[in-house]
């Protein structure tokens, strides 16, 4: 209660808005789950892909996941009815090692099991990453938690893997490497991790990551067949590329990248991607430079997580929990600085609400995610004392990156 009273008004408003949203979402989801049949309001989630994958494994039809899309979609229609909306499978075979038990349960029970277990994983990883008791840290991630609950997506899981790898990279590098290897279920979320590990000279974690990645590939090939990997490369990836190129509607409202923003206002896929890389490549270059020069491990983690979502063209708003973890670090550090400027507080608050706001604003063709994320990235660099020129900054006085304790 004392932390709430001491918290800035604007952060309390974020909390109150999140609580109101939580009431609406939980009420709506509860009504859907209580219906005797599987209502489309519950079935029309990406989780339908995970559940049907588990069922196909049980039925010995796992290769239909990695074949032509019509064959896969036929299974979804058979399970949920002819009016079921378009969905596609987009994950590599080793993701099945995590989700195959879902096929043992009915749809509703499996969805609750998936949400509950991945939420617990996220809470454990998030607490380890933050490393201190802070109400502000939970306020920062609360809107995203609600959004992912509504989407019944794997945002809890992917963020737990990323944050867990960062939190454990100093004390348990082998475990951290295994977590990072499993993040290859969404490889676009780990594209900058190799540079961080090299900058911090975490050779054992690199070895662990490579070894675990090879092991996941080998086990999934042994269990589901090498044909699953062939199908993933020849069918799933090309189809997912066409999805990125051609899909519109709410999908574009949920893409926080510059690519998504430009597509949402009518730009063609080729032009949007070209402009995206004009922003992403300098961001990546500066961020990698910062990873080698910034002294504090928590600052490096924040820069890494924020830059990831600026650089990758394909992440969705429910993936942003690790971005919000970085926002939490920045807001907590800012709150300890007197005086904390209201502009920064407003920016942090906007970033906390971004996963939800960007969907609603996207419906009217207002795209705020790229400028907000770029502004947050700039603040992260400034907080870390990163200087673009040689100067009297804290990064010039560091002893060695790898000797600094890690986040969490």
pLDDT digits (tens, 9 = 90+) for 344-358: 999 999 999 999 999
pTM over 0.75: yes
The reported pLDDT for the residue numbered 405 is: 42
Q: Decide if pLDDT at 401 tops 60.
A: no
Q: 408: pLDDT confidence band, cut at 50, 70 and 90?
A: very low
Q: Decide if pLDDT at 121 tops 60.
A: yes
pLDDT tens digits for range 203-229: 999 999 999 999 999 999 999 999 999
The reported pLDDT for the residue numbered 251 is: 84
Q: 339: pLDDT confidence band, cut at 50, 70 and 90?
A: low
Other beta carbons less than 10 A from residue 388's beta carbon: 10
The reported pLDDT for the residue numbered 1 is: 64
Q: Decide if pLDDT at 268 tops 50.
A: yes
Q: 407: pLDDT confidence band, cut at 50, 70 and 90?
A: very low
Q: Decide if pLDDT at 333 tops 50.
A: yes
pLDDT tens digits for range 95-105: 999 999 999 99
Reference 296, options 391, 400, 373; nearest CA is 400
Label each residue of 323-347 as H, E or C: HHHHHHHHHHHHHCCCCCCHHHHHH
pLDDT tens digits for range 222-240: 999 999 999 999 999 999 9
Return the minimum-mean-pLDDT range out of 83-87, 230-234, 271-275, 396-400: 396-400
Q: Percent of the chain beyond pLDDT 70?
A: 94
pLDDT tens digits for range 41-82: 888 889 999 999 999 999 999 999 999 999 999 999 999 988
Higher-confidence position of 8 and 163:
163
């Amino acid at each position: 209660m004392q932390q709430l009273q001491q918290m800035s008004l604007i952060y309390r408003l974020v909390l109150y808005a999140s609580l109101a949203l939580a009431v609406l979402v939980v009420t709506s989801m509860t009504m859907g789950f209580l219906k005797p049949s599987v209502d489309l309001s519950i079935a029309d989630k990406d989780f339908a892909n995970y559940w049907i994958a588990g069922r196909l494994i049980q039925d010995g039809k796992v290769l239909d996941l990695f074949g032509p899309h019509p064959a896969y979609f036929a299974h979804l229609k058979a399970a949920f009815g002819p009016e079921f909306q378009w969905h596609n499978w987009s994950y590599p075979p080793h993701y099945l090692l995590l989700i195959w038990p879902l096929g043992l349960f009915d749809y509703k029970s499996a969805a609750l099991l998936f949400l509950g277990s991945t939420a617990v994983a996220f809470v454990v990883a998030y607490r380890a990453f933050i490393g201190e008791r802070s109400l502000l840290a939970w306020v920062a991630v609360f809107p995203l938690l609600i959004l992912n609950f509504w989407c019944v997506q794997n945002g809890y899981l992917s963020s737990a893997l990323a944050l867990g790898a960062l939190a454990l990279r100093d004390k348990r590098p082998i475990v951290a490497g295994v977590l990072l290897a499993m993040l290859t279920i969404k490889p676009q979320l780990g594209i900058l991790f190799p540079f961080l590990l090299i900058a911090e000279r975490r050779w054992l974690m690199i070895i662990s990551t490579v070894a675990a990645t090879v092991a996941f590939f080998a086990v999934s090939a042994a269990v589901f067949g090498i044909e699953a990997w062939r199908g993933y490369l020849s069918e799933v990836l090309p189809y997912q590329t066409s999805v990125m190129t051609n899909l519109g509607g709410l999908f574009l409202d949920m893409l926080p990248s510059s690519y998504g923003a430009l597509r949402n206002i009518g730009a063609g896929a080729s032009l949007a991607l070209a402009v995206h890389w004009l922003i992403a490549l300098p961001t990546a270059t500066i961020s990698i430079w910062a990873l080698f020069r910034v002294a504090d491990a928590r600052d490096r983690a924040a820069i890494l997580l924020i830059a990831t979502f600026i650089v990758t063209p394909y992440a969705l708003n429910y993936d942003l929990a690790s971005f919000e973890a970085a926002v939490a670090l920045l807001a907590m550090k800012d709150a300890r600085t007197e005086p904390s400027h209201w502009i920064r507080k407003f920016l942090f608050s906007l970033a906390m609400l971004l996963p939800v706001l960007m969907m609603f604003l996207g419906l009217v063709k207002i795209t705020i995610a790229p400028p907000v994320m770029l502004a947050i990235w700039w603040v992260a660099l400034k907080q870390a004392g990163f200087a673009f020129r040689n100067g009297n900054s804290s990064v010039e006085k560091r002893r060695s990156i790898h000797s600094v304790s890690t986040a969490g």
